[in-house]
Amino acid sequence: MNEHQQRKQLCELAKSMFDRGYATGGAGNISVQLDKGMFLATPTGSSFGRLEPDTLSLISQSGEHISGDKPSKEVSFHLAIYKNRPSCKAIVHLHSTYLTALSSLKNLNTDNAIRAFTPYYVMRVGQLPVVPYYNPGDPMIATELAALAPKHRAYLLANHGPVVTGIDLLDAVDNAEELEETAKLTLLLKDNDVAYISDDNLKILANKGI
């Protein structure tokens, strides 16, 4: 897929997520890796529902703004993940309803905020570590995500929302949607006796992936 096609795909997928309620206003951001170490990212304050291919931010590996509108200040943590997770080629960061609600709860297991009860959560996400709260744009978010990136595909920013990776943009969006649905189910099942997936089955599922 060439750069023009990736620009168009990013806008189409973002619009689809906006239309289905995964993003509101100017919240969240998306990025995708291009050839030669360049990246496309959503501009600062932009709405997923009103992106234009030609105004997407083009940035270098070092974070230099090459062209397009000014990139989101959160692009620094995208770059930290790319640097430390070579298999990652796209990232979706949302302020989606159920994952943001989950991220605001006290006493989450910071190693894994959602204990597995569905197979697709395991195969698409695996585990969901929690990053402590920092104000948006704080460089410590990038530091925390850089440390987690080698072993994890998704992360929950406390009181903020999810950051989800993929081997391409379609994969990242699918993973983000699966994770949001899992968070919804987690909150629906709260205070119920949940049948969690056994450790033996977790090992099998973890090796399958999607």
The residues annotated as belonging to the active site are: 74, 120
Q: How far apart are CA 137 and CA 103, in angstroms?
A: 17
Contact status, residue 201 vs residue 121, Cβ threshold 8 Å: no
97 CA to centre of own chain: 14
182 closest CA partner among 115, 130, 132 = 115
Contact status, residue 112 vs residue 180, Cβ threshold 8 Å: no
Residue 56 gets which letter from DSSP?
Answer: S
39 closest CA partner among 10, 14, 16 = 10
